[in-house]
Amino acid sequence: QVQLVESGGGLVQPGGSLRLSCAASISIFSINLMAWYRQAQGKKREVVARISSGVTTVYADSVKGRFTIFRDNVKNTLYLQMNSLKPEDTAVYYCNVLTGGRLYWGQGTQVTVSS
């Protein structure tokens, strides 16, 4: 069983920044695919960014140029640096990993962008 614990969410003004963290209970060195998703109230969960073990990254069009996904294989942690935040970025953010043929999710962290 893999445990994922997100942190770093909160309330921020438009234009501000936050860094989300997702700490894994196992070594992530060999995990090929890790990702951040988000779910706004009343909407479907959507992918925000993905990163492979080879550090190839893919971003949703809505966050390109503003968000950066990266991983620290020593700390077994996945990150999402979010800059130039907009009200429409308000959502619960979840990390997930695909390993051993199973998909694991964290509990989510709330990000609210509001003045």
The two structure tokens encoding residue 99: 């390993």
Model confidence over 13-60: pLDDT tens digits? 999 999 999 999 999 988 889 999 999 999 999 999 999 887 799 999
- Output the pLDDT for position 54: 75
pLDDT above 80 (res 65): yes
Under the banding of pLDDT at 50, 70 and 90, the label for residue 10 is very high
Whole-angstrom distance, CA of residue 79 vs CA of residue 53 = 14
Residue type for 90, please? Answer: T
Query: How many DSSP H helices and E strands does the chain contain?
Result: 0, 11
Residue-averaged pLDDT of the chain: 95
Question: Three-state DSSP class for 92?
Answer: strand
pLDDT of residue 59: 98
Contact 93, 36 (CB under 8 A): yes
Q: Say if residue 85 is exposed, middle or buried (CB neighbours under 10 Å; 0-12, 13-18, 19+).
A: buried
